[in-house]
Structure 1
C-alpha cells in the first residue's frame, strides 16, 4: 500500500507535466482536425470500486465504467494478482505454432455459456478486431464453399461496430463517417431499430413489422445469394442505448436462417454481465447467432482482449468442403494472449460468483430511478436495459428535435456532473450511463441525483443563452 501511495503522490505532482506532454506528443482517439496532436483530456489518477479520482483529487462516480468495460470495478486485487502471476509464469507465446493453457480453458468456459452450438473461440485484442475477424471468417467460409459472390454485409443506422477499416464501414452514426472512407461497396444499411424515433403515427408493434419487412425486402431486392452476413448489437450501445422492439431480433434471426445469411451478434458491450448474463443473445433475447463477438467486459478492462465465438456447424461445413488445404490467413500477434486469457478466467469467476446475480437484482432499480429524469422538460426519453441507460435531450417532446442549435448538450451535462462528482459519457444530445456492475442502490441514488442536478443546470444555461425556451 505504501508503494501505491507513493505512485499516487507522484501522479498528482506530475499532472501538469502529463498535460503538457500529451499536447506535445500524444494523439488522442477521435480528435478534431483543429486540435489533433495538441489536446489534453481529463487526467485520471486512480480508481477504486465504482469511483475514479482525477489528478486534482476529485472523486467521481465512473458512470460509463471506463468505456462500458470496468464491469467488476476498479482496483480488484485478485485480477492484478493474476496478471502478475501469469506474467511471471509465461508472459507471451507465439500463437502461430504454440499455444497456452489459459486460452484453451477460457475457450471451453465461454462455450459453456454461449447459446446454440457456438463452441469455438478465436481470440483477438479488442472489439474492433473481433468484428473484423468475424467478417473475414464469413468471407473465408463462403470462398471455401464456392460462393465468392456471397459477401455483402447488412448493418443498421445507429450501429457502432469498431474502428478498423471493415468494422468501421458498418457504423451507422453519421459523425463516424463524415470524413472517413469505408468499404461502402460491401455494406447495405438498414434503419435503426430505435422506437423513440419511429415514424409518426405508428405504434411499436407496427414499427417492428416495418423493420422486419424492410429487412426481408432488402434480402429479396439485393439477393440472398449475395449477402454473407447481418451484424447487429442486441442493444445499440454507442448509438444511444437503443433497445429494439420485442421480438424483432428473433424475427431477423429467422430470416437470416431461411436465407443462409450468417447472423453475427455484436456483444462487445452487452456481454459479460452488462445485461445480467455472460451473453445476452440467448439468455436475454432468445436467439442463437452463428457468431458472437465480444471484448471489453471479458477482462473488465484490466487487459486488452476480445474474440469471436463460432458455430460448430460452420466449422463442420468447412471441414467437409472440397478445399481442405484452404488457409484462413488471419491472425494477430497477441491472439490468445496468456495474460489476457488468465485475467478473463478470474474475471469470469467473479462474475459467476455474485456479480451477475447482483446485476439482475439492481438493474430494475437502476432503470426505474433513471426514468424519473423524464420529469425534466429537457429530457425527451430515458431508455435502457440491464445496467445500460441513456437520457436523450430534445428541444421539445412533440418534434423530438435533438437540439440542432446546440450539439454540445451532452458535454454541457457532463461538465456540470463532473463538478458535482459524476463522470458521464456525452453523445451529442444524449448522456449515457453504464456503471460498474457492482454498483449499489445507494450509489445509484447518488448517481441519479447528480445527473438530475447536472441536467437542471444545463437547462438554466440554455435558457440564459436563449438557445432553448423550455
Structure 2
C-alpha cells in the first residue's frame, strides 16, 4: 500500500496521543491493541469541518457519529448549555422533575406520528433501545402474558452496545467474540436489495421478505413475540434501504398479531432524512414506539429517549396490577442540561436547517452516485443526507471480502490526507455530513472521495490483489 501517514504519527508531538496509548480504552478495540491505541486526534471543529492534531482541516463526512446535525461550534447550543447549568445543573428524576424535560416532551410528541404522546429519556441510542425492550417486557408481564417476549430483528441491523440492544445486532463481526441474549432474539434476513438473489426483482424480493416475516411469526407463535425492532434505514449496516412498501407491510403484520413495532430512529431522526421523524413522513408507518438519540442534541450533550404510544399506557392503566412498577431508570434520565440543549437544537432545525437539508439532499445523492463509474464501486445508495459507497471485488460476484476486508479503511486514510474524514465499514464508506453542508462543500467532498478511491485502486493493483 502506498505510504499514508498514520494518525499516530500525525500528532505524535501531542501529549494526548501518548496518554491515550497508556491509559485510554477506545470503543470497539481489538484484543491485540486494547489499551495501547491512539486514534486520529481531533482538536476542534467549525461548521462541517474538523481540525486534526496535525492542523489539517477535514470535512466531517460522518458528522461525528451521524449526530452533528446542526454543525460544529454552534454558539447558541453552547450558550444554552452554560445558562441551564448555571440555573439547574441536575435533579434526581426519581422524585423530582425539571421544566426543560417536560417542554421537550411536548414538542417531541407534536412531531411523533399517531398517538405517540409520551417520552422516556435516556442517555443515548443504546439505552433508548434497551428501554423500549424492557418496556415491552414490563407491558406483557402486567398484561398477564409473560411468554410474549421474543424480539424480531434483522440481518444488517445495529441497535446498540448494551447487552439486550446489542443482542439484536446483525452486522458481520459485531458479535464474533461477544455474548448475547440469543434465546430472546429471532433474526430475519437483511432487507438489502443490492444483495438480493440474482435475477430476483425488487418487488419479488419485497414479497420474499414479507413472506419470511409472516412465516416466522407463524413458526414462533404470535403469542410468544413481543416486538419487532427495525431502523427505517439500516444505518451502520451500510445505509440499507428496504424495497418500497416493505416497512408498511411489516407494520400491518405486527398489528394483526399484536406485536409491538419499535421504529429505531436513533440515526434517521432529527433531520438526517429531512424530518424530525421519518417513520410516518417517509415510510407511512405509525409505530408503537420510536427510539431516538444522536441528532436530538446534535451531539452536543448525551441524550436519547423513547416515544411511547398512548394506547400502551392506557392498557397498563386498565390492568389488574395498578401497583406494578416499571423498575427502570437512569441517573441522567431527563437531564435538564441535555433537554435544554435539545429544545434549542429543535429551534435551529425548525428555523431553516430542516428546509436546507431537504433542499440539498437530492444534490448530495446525485453527486455521490457519479462514483459508480469507478470499477471498485459496486453501488452508491442513500436517502436524505446519508449514503453508502459499497466497494466490491467485482460487480458480478458482489463479493467484498475477496478484495480486502479493510478497503474502506484504506480509502479513509487517503481521504484523510486529502481533507475528508470518512466512516469506513469493512468494504464500505459511509457519508452522513452535518445538515448545514452546502452544494460547494458537497462537490468538494465527492471530489476527495473519488480521488481517495482512485488511489486505493492504484494501491490494490500494485499489490496484485485486484486487477479491476
The match for 1:445 is 443
The match for 1:330 is 328
Runs (5+) with no aligned partner, structure 2? 1-9
The match for 1:372 is 370
What is the deviation of 1:55?
1.6
Query: Which of residues 239, 242, 267 is equivalent to 2:240?
Result: 242
The match for 1:3 is none
After TM superposition, list the pairs within 5 Å mapping 1:417-456 onto structure 2: 417-456=415-454
Query: Which of residues 76, 83, 86 is equivalent to 1:85?
Result: 83
CA contact (8 A) 1:390 1:432 kept: yes
CA contact (8 A) 2:11 2:41 kept: no
Q: Using the alignment, how far apart are the partners of 2:67 and 2:289 within structure 1?
A: 21
Query: Which of residues 377, 391, 414 is equivalent to 2:412?
Result: 414
What is the deviation of 1:174?
2.5
The match for 1:4 is none
The TM-score, its normalising length taken from structure 2, stands at 0.97
Q: Using the alignment, how far apart are the partners of 2:238 and 2:418 within structure 1?
A: 23
Moved over 3 A (4+): 12-15
Asked if residue 105 in structure 1 is aligned to residue 131 in structure 2, the reply is no
After TM superposition, list the pairs within 5 Å mapping 1:451-462 onto structure 2: 451-462=449-460
The match for 2:261 is 263
Q: Using the alignment, how far apart are the partners of 1:224 and 1:150 within structure 2?
A: 8
The match for 2:65 is 67
The match for 1:202 is 200
Show CA shifts across 1:408-452 (max 9, x none). Answer: 100000000000000000000000000000000000000000000
CA contact (8 A) 1:393 1:402 kept: yes
The match for 2:354 is 356
CA contact (8 A) 1:15 1:43 kept: no
The match for 1:138 is 136
What is the deviation of 1:401?
1.1
Give the 3-state SS of the residue equivalent to 2:174 in structure 1: helix
What is the deviation of 1:284?
1.2
The match for 2:401 is 403
CA contact (8 A) 1:393 1:403 kept: no
Query: Which of residues 145, 154, 176 is equivalent to 2:152?
Result: 154
Asked if residue 305 in structure 1 is aligned to residue 282 in structure 2, the reply is no
The match for 1:8 is none
Q: Using the alignment, how far apart are the partners of 1:441 and 1:243 within structure 2?
A: 24
CA contact (8 A) 1:215 1:252 kept: yes
Show CA shifts across 1:386-415 (max 9, x none). Answer: 000000000110111113341110000000
What is the deviation of 1:310?
0.1
Show CA shifts across 1:145-173 (max 9, x none). Answer: 00000000000000000000000000001
The match for 1:5 is none
The TM-score, its normalising length taken from structure 1, stands at 0.97
How many residue pairs align between the two structures?
459
After TM superposition, list the pairs within 5 Å mapping 1:162-173 onto structure 2: 162-173=160-171
CA contact (8 A) 1:195 1:207 kept: yes
Q: Using the alignment, how far apart are the partners of 1:13 and 1:407 within structure 2?
A: 27
Give the 3-state SS of the residue equivalent to 2:398 in structure 1: coil
